[in-house]
């Protein structure tokens, strides 16, 4: 803004220009006076100028990769009493920041477009009985030794987790092992649909062949639909909020496996869900089977 006024003041004058800018003429003149006579500037202003120069130099000397914490730590060795918030403010003012290391793991990698199952669910995540609709998805957990991936298979009727598996990789075996656990735990019913996103793990030949062998119809979410597997993602969200974000840091695969086993058992047997009338998934299913038994007896 000052440079703009400097450029055009000869043609239009300072006051007329300032009428159209959010700056008073007195502010402009004071700034120019301080440029000519730095001793007139406030102590904070002089220190900010000094620190800004030191911050940029230190940042550039270190390949422009340091963020606020490392710049502050480095300069604190020679700048006594330097506050972290001051470094943060001056870095932000100069538009400099550290390199963000790594990327959020991409867990959904679309499989080949050919021979892809249809979306049989179309966001309608409802079931009138167990073993009508399963949804599958997986998430990631950062640990001291890298990411651990956790896959879930959920029965939509009562949001019950019927299969899960943790692994250091997100290959097909991760999803397939969770499916095998679900098949072992449940006696599948005729017309059962298995719904997932379009990840390569669920679109793989081995996975789809296993569904076919078990008599389960495959369904995948539609393209460009952020709600194509919303129910599974909501369970992932509860898992992250109730366990992962609360009990970290995580040491590795075994640590995640043990705590996930405990959480899944609690979730299925005791977790009260508003959608189920504040019953647990196990209680809701037991109530269903009790009603079925009474109906048959009648």
HSE-up (13 A, CA, CB side) for residue 43: 0
Strand 146-155 and strand 160-167: the pairing is antiparallel
Q: Are 137 and 119 in contact (CB under 8 A)?
A: no
Top-tier CATH class for 133-297: alpha beta
Query: Which pLDDT score is estimated for 113?
Result: 47
Owner of token pair 């007896």: 297
Q: Which residues pair with 193 in a beta bridge?
A: 133, 217
Find the largest Cα–Cα distance for the chain.
Answer: 100
**What pLDDT does residue 123 have?**
64
Task: Give the C-alpha separation, 232 to 245, whole Å.
Answer: 18
According to the model, what pLDDT value does residue 230 have?
73
DSSP output for the chain: -HHHHHHHHHHH-HHHHHTTTTS-HHHHHHHHHHHH-GGGS-HHHHHHHHHHHHHHHHHHHTTT---HHHHHHHHHTTSTT--HHHHHHHHHHHT------S-------B--STTPPP-SSTT----SSTTSEEEEEEEEEEETTEEEEEEEEEETTTTEEEEEEEESS-SHHHHHHHHHHHHHHS---TT-EEEE-SBHHHHSHHHHHHHHHTT-EEEEPPTT-TTTTHHHHHHHHHHIIIIIHHH--B-SHHHHHHHHHHHHHHHHHT--BGGGTSB-HHHHHHHHHHHHHHHHH-
Q: Alpha-carbon torsion 284, 290, 292, 298, what sign?
A: negative
What is the structure's pLDDT at 177?
A: 94
Q: How far apart are CA 40 and CA 36, in angstroms?
A: 9
87, 75 Cβ separation under 8 angstroms:
yes
Low-confidence stretches of the chain (pLDDT < 50) are: 101-104, 111, 113-114, 224-227
What distances in angstroms separate CA 197 from CA 13, 19, 135, 175, one per listed residue? 64, 58, 9, 12
- pLDDT at 229 (0 to 100): 66
Q: What are the φ and ψ backbone dihedral angles of 286, each rounded to 5 degrees?
A: -60, -40
Q: Which pLDDT value is given to residue 101?
A: 43
Distance CA 96, CA 64 (A): 8
User: Taking the model in full, what pTM does it have?
Assistant: 0.60
């Amino acid at each position: 803004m000052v440079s703009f006024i400097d450029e055009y003041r000869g043609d239009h004058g300072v006051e007329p220009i300032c009428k159209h800018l959010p700056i008073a003429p007195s502010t402009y003149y004071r700034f120019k006076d301080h440029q000519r006579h730095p001793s007139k500037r406030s102590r904070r202003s002089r220190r900010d100028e000094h620190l800004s120069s030191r911050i940029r130099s230190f940042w550039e000397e270190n390949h422009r990769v340091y963020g606020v914490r490392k710049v502050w730590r480095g300069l604190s060795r020679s700048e006594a009493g330097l506050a972290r918030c001051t470094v943060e403010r001056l870095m932000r003012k100069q538009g400099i920041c550290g390199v963000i290391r790594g990327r959020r793991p991409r867990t959904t990698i679309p499989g080949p477009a050919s021979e892809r199952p249809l979306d049989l669910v179309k966001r309608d995540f409802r079931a009138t009985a167990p073993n009508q609709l399963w949804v599958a998805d997986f998430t990631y957990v950062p640990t001291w030794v890298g990411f651990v991936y956790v896959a879930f298979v959920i029965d939509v009727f009562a949001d019950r987790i019927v299969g899960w598996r943790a692994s250091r990789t997100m290959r097909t075996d991760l999803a397939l092992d969770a499916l095998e656990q679900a098949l072992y735990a449940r006696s599948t019913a005729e017309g059962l649909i298995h719904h997932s996103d379009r990840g390569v793990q669920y679109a793989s030949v081995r996975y789809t062949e296993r569904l076919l062998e078990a008599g389960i119809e495959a369904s995948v979410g539609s393209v460009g639909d952020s709600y194509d597997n919303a129910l599974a993602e909501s369970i992932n969200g509860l898992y992250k909020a109730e366990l992962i974000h609360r009990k970290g840091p995580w040491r590795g695969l075994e640590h995640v496996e043990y705590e996930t086993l405990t959480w899944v058992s609690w979730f299925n047997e005791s977790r009260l869900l508003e959608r189920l009338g504040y019953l647990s998934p196990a209680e809701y299913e037991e109530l269903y089977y009790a009603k079925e038994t009474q109906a048959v007896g009648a």
